[in-house]
Amino acid sequence: MKLNRYLLLCVIVTSLGGLLFGFDTAVISGTEKALQRLFHLSGFWHGFTVASALIGTVIGSLVASYPADRWGRRLTLIVIAILYFVSAVGSALAWDWYSLVFFRFIGGLAVGGASVVAPMYIAEISPPQWRGRLVAIVQFNIVFGILLAFFSNFCVTLFNLGDLEWRWMLGVEAFPAAVFWLLLYLTPQSPRWLVVCGRDQEAVDVFVKLGVPPQEAQELVSEIRSGLERTNGNEPLFCPRYMRLVLLALAIAAFNQLSGINAILYYAPRIFQMAGAGKYTAFLQSVAVGGTNLIFTMLAMSVIDRFGRKFLMLVGSIGYILSLSAVATAFYIYGAQFDTFGNIVVLVSLIVFIASHAFGQGAVIWVFISEIFPNTVRAKGQALGSFTHWFMCAVISWTFPVIAEQSGGHAFAFYAAMMVLQLLWVIFIMPETKGIPLEEIEQRLLTKRSRSSQPV
């Protein structure tokens, strides 16, 4: 199976769900202080307001496997696009705190669903030798969406819109959401989902359209059909057969958020102001963080299928530990009295942190989870990993303002300690999955003799 234009079109369109995922996730960083003042929110309710979208994300990721299996990946993505659009328009027009929280919750449902379905769909249509790079386009667009959100927020502040500023920041998302919605009608159903539904000839036709020669497409569908027949289609995810896969997905998803990545993205301007930067400087520094994220994501995409998922995770884990330790030390030393040097230390350390995340966890998580589960439970497994990711994200983002009010150093020291545990997990437990067909990964991971310290 080779790359062709239609396959690339499908990947690019689907990955726009990742762009909206990133934009929706980060755009709140420019509005959270204004919302706290406008609605007179305490630290607890301020954290809840920021986390309201994440509560929707947790639910969206948990339930996304049902429509993805029942309706198909494509139709589920269309519903997700509609939710993005409704959330953006509703948040911009919110008439009180309750309506704002409701529409942010709707956006969270879309983010959670996209984090499950978009990487899974791309993994199911991609050639094995290109799968890592193609699925990583979702992460690239997530990062690009984060950068666009930071840049969009900065641009909005230049117009001095006063009380309308936060409404424009949240409403801009409606435009890319509408484009995503329309372009999805150009994509096909996942051929592997079609085989699961017994529509083998349709699956062959889709594979051919995606660039697979007709004879190879027939053989590929037969191989997928044989794999399904070896398993019970009604087998639950939580059973002894899949326990190793479940634990792998839970671990990588939990560690992703225990790094503190989303707390830093959501509160980036506030963190820089805590470290002594002015308002406009803080927003510009946030853009620098977003730009670093984009550059190192592109670097990771270029090497993920050459050096493998595990190598990227090792490098990223070491970078996490060094950068988070430096930020924690700066906050312990300076407290609330940062000078120029202290601000530079925090800025440089957070840029190293973002680079480490983009090159490691950020590039690997959605690729890895989309690869390790068999066809019959892939949607459920992807949903489990995504649910864990977003549940931990909600916890971290909700608690960060409360902890930061006491000491920024405590929060960053905790994140650094968690990344030491991640490094040990990567070294001793995480398997390698690069360049292996999905059906072969399934066989190897489910073989009792396979050892996690060796390539799968």
Determine how many CB atoms are found less than 10 A away from the CB of residue 406: 10
Question: Number of structural domains, the chain?
Answer: 1
Q: Where are the alpha helices (DSSP H) in 210-278?
A: 214-229, 243-258, 261-266, 268-274
For residue 322 the two structure tokens come to 């060094």
AA letter at 100? L
8-state DSSP, 96: S
3-state secondary structure (DSSP) of residue 434: coil
- Tell me the sheet residues that pair with 432: 455
In percent, the amount of the chain with pLDDT more than 70 equals 91
Q: Is the residue at 455 inside a domain?
A: no
Contacts of 26 (CB under 8 A, 6+ apart): 145, 146, 149, 150, 265, 266, 268, 290
3-state secondary structure (DSSP) of residue 433: coil
Q: Is the residue at 167 inside a domain?
A: yes
Q: What is the enclosing helix (H) or strand (E) of 354?
A: helix 340-359
8-state DSSP, 72: -
Distances in whole angstroms, Cα of residue 95 to Cα of each of 27, 99, 332, 384: 19, 6, 41, 35
Model pTM score: 0.73
AA letter at 47? G
Determine how many CB atoms are found less than 10 A away from the CB of residue 155: 14
- Any idea what the CATH number is for the domain that residue 397 is in? 1.20.1250.20
Q: Is the residue at 452 inside a domain?
A: no
Q: Is the residue at 308 inside a domain?
A: yes
On the CB side of 86, CA atoms within 13 Å amount to 16
- pLDDT tens sequence for the chain (456 residues): 557 889 999 999 999 998 998 888 778 877 877 888 888 887 678 777 877 887 888 899 888 888 988 899 999 999 999 999 999 999 999 888 899 989 999 999 998 899 889 988 998 888 877 888 888 888 788 888 888 888 888 888 888 877 788 899 999 999 999 999 999 999 999 998 898 888 989 999 999 998 888 898 898 888 888 877 766 556 788 888 889 999 999 999 999 999 998 787 767 666 776 666 655 566 666 677 778 888 998 899 888 988 999 999 999 999 999 999 999 999 888 877 778 788 788 888 988 999 999 999 988 998 899 888 887 788 889 889 988 988 898 788 778 877 776 766 888 999 999 999 999 999 999 999 888 877 788 788 876 444 444 444
Q: Is the residue at 363 inside a domain?
A: yes
- The CA distance from 60 to 393, in Å, is 14
Q: What is the enclosing helix (H) or strand (E) of 313?
A: helix 309-334
Burial-class residue 82 by CB neighbours within 10 Å (0-12, 13-18, 19+).
middle
**Predicted local confidence at residue 293, as pLDDT:** 80
Phi, psi values for residue 266, rounded to 5°: -70, -35
Q: How large is the angle between the packed helices 5-27 and 97-125, nearest 10 degrees?
A: 150
Tens of pLDDT, residues 369-388: 988 888 778 888 988 998 89
Nearest by Cα to 115 from 88, 135, 91: 135
Q: Is the residue at 199 inside a domain?
A: no
Nearest by Cα to 264 from 97, 36, 50, 10: 50
For residue 171 the two structure tokens come to 């409403």
* Range of the structural domain that residue 55 is part of: 5-187+241-445
Q: Is the residue at 151 inside a domain?
A: yes
Chain position carrying tokens 């350390």: 349
Q: Is the residue at 235 inside a domain?
A: no
AA letter at 154? F
- Tell me the sheet residues that pair with 455: 432
Q: Where are the alpha helices (DSSP H) in 39-159?
A: 43-63, 65-70, 73-92, 97-125, 131-158
Tens of pLDDT, residues 335-344: 777 787 887 8
Whether the CB-CB separation of 55 and 64 falls below 8 Å is answered with no
- The CA distance from 372 to 210, in Å, is 23
Tens of pLDDT, residues 223-266: 888 877 766 556 788 888 889 999 999 999 999 999 998 787 76
